[in-house]
Amino acid sequence: MYKRIIGDGSARRKRYNSAMGNTVRIAVAQFNCILGDLAGNAAKILDCAARAKAEGAAVLLTPELSLCGYPPEDLLLRDGFFRDCATALAQLAAAVHGIKVVVGHPQLAEGRRYNAASLLQEGRIAATYRKRNLPNYTVFDEERYFEPGGEPVVFEVSGLRLGINICEDLWGEQGPVEAGASASGQQRRVWRADAPRLARAAGAQVLLVLNASPYHTRQHASRLAVARNRAAENGLAIVYANLVGGQDELVFDGASFALDARGELTHQLPYFEEALECVDIVEGVPQPGRRAPDLPLEASVYRALCLGVRDYVGKNGFPGAILGLSGGIDSALTLAIACDALGADKVRAVMMPSQYTADISWIDSRDMVRRLGVRYDEIAIKPMFDAFLAALAGEFRELPVDATEENLQARIRGTLLMAVSNKFGSIVLTTGNKSEMAVGYSTLYGDMAGGFAAIKDVAKTLVYRLAEYRNTLGAVIPLRIIERPPSAELRPDQTDQDSLPSYAVLDAIMSGYMEQNLSAAEIVAGGQRVEDVERVVGLIKRNEYKRRQAPVGIRITQRGFGKDWRYPITSRYREKFS
């Protein structure tokens, strides 16, 4: 009942035999889609097919939803989007000859929406597989859009039987059925990670897996471990194609791979770049091939940030980027990322000193822009600040100076940056880090004003490590910026630690509470002081209203302040700390 085998003429004679002595070459294409650019994505797939065919490949495997891009989000609620995808798929199929292409796409069939993958060959759509397991956690909400699929699809090439799975089909443990609600509200029953088993039961010897698996610092190790388990459990070799590129806050790292039936790695494609790699399957076994080196943590995060900035700016048609340079480490790191992502000729830095700006901030900022070769301007804000204070003197009569005056300076700077952005079209990159976002150490309509937050998900302690890493590639960040105590420079002799715990403590509490979902009591039990935990957790909760108004930024951890952080602004829930 499971078998659904589509063969080519020569394969039919050996449908149920092993591929003894046969070699089948499978090409893996990890490429950078532009969401919604159906014609452009189809052209990329055809180009990959032509290159794969020239290298002797019989099959080309592309990533999940490669025809339309991932994730389409609420475009999937529009029937017209599905119709346009169907038209593009038919046109793509008509152009495919001499090679089989497995392409991911959304499908609307009999009123139901599916995350699908179709086998294209000789001008037609030969078969379509529908994703069985729909992720509905962290940044994923596929149950909002799709129905689960059912029947496995296996096809033959020269006697080798190839099954198709899509991303989440590999995850989870094999086990009993679970009940759940479908996208339409109807009840359904699904198996956890049974898709590989069903493909094996249908005769598959090798599993082709289409993926759109977004990057975070632990994700590749997790996906590789899961795939190894599935390969060994089912006795299936796996060829895994992952998307690459930036899409809003998500970055896809590529790093596609192949495993033999024992789960041993035979191929590894490079991280964060487009690539086409061929995997030779002999007697059902992937032969050893090229394995791109793994990246240290700092290198992988830095490349993810560069790719995220490059694609957000480029795919949205901005001519370049502008940012406020302060002489501090956050803006210095953001400037380095922007230049590496876009080129120095597309980046502009503006220094906006006040009477509280230290001389070394001017000196170090000028030094850094000279090293990078970016356009640099200085606009003093003291005259504007004085004008604001004069205008508000009556309102503020006999009231003490406090954070209001500090925030005025930040808002003047935000206004200036947005004015330059409006005039020249470049997007403003904000420079706030995750630690600041967590506790609200930022100013609405001030340093939070901008279009894209490059280091929004980078904790302050990691900011320092990334700055040091970047200098190993070329010393562009002056050493004093890295070594000096961090300061907003909004009042005399100010440092961040005047109003915050040390960043080592803050980041540890933030990671436990926000990223690992530990309770406050568990964090205290882990060694943090009660008063520090109360303070940081309280600040995280009180500043949700700010984060809701912050620009979108790149996600590099397993939980960022974006798609996978959905806490209420209005809430009186209070946790116990012991």
Tokens of 64: 């999940």
Between CA 550 and CA 430 the distance in angstroms is 9
Asked about 64 being catalytic, the answer comes back as: yes
At 283, which amino acid appears? Answer: E
Question: Does residue 339 have an active-site annotation?
Answer: no
- How far is 45 from 60, CA to CA, in rounded Å? 9
Give the active site residue among 131, 315, 456, 563.
131
Active site residue 131: yes
| Strands of the sheet with 257-259, listed across from one edge | 5-6, 154-157, 160-166, 206-211, 237-242, 257-259, 265-268
Contacts by 37-45, CB closer than 8 A, 24 or more apart? 37/69, 38/67, 38/68, 38/84, 38/85, 38/88, 39/88, 41/66, 41/67, 41/68, 41/69, 42/67, 42/88, 42/91, 42/92, 45/92, 45/101, 45/103
Contact residues for 559 (Cβ-Cβ < 8 A; gap 6+): 138, 514, 515, 517, 565
SS3 255: coil
| Helix, strand or coil, per DSSP, at residue 447 | coil
CA dist., res. 533 & res. 530, Å (int): 5
Say how far apart CA 164 and CA 105 lie, in whole Å. Answer: 14
Token pair of 372, please?
A: 């990078």
Distance in angstroms (rounded) separating the CA atoms of residues 389 and 372: 36
List 64, 168, 249, 277, catalytic entry = 64
Residue among 48, 68, 85, 167 flagged as catalytic: 167
Return the sign of the alpha-carbon dihedral for residues 291, 256, 8, 120. negative
Positions marked catalytic: 64, 131, 167
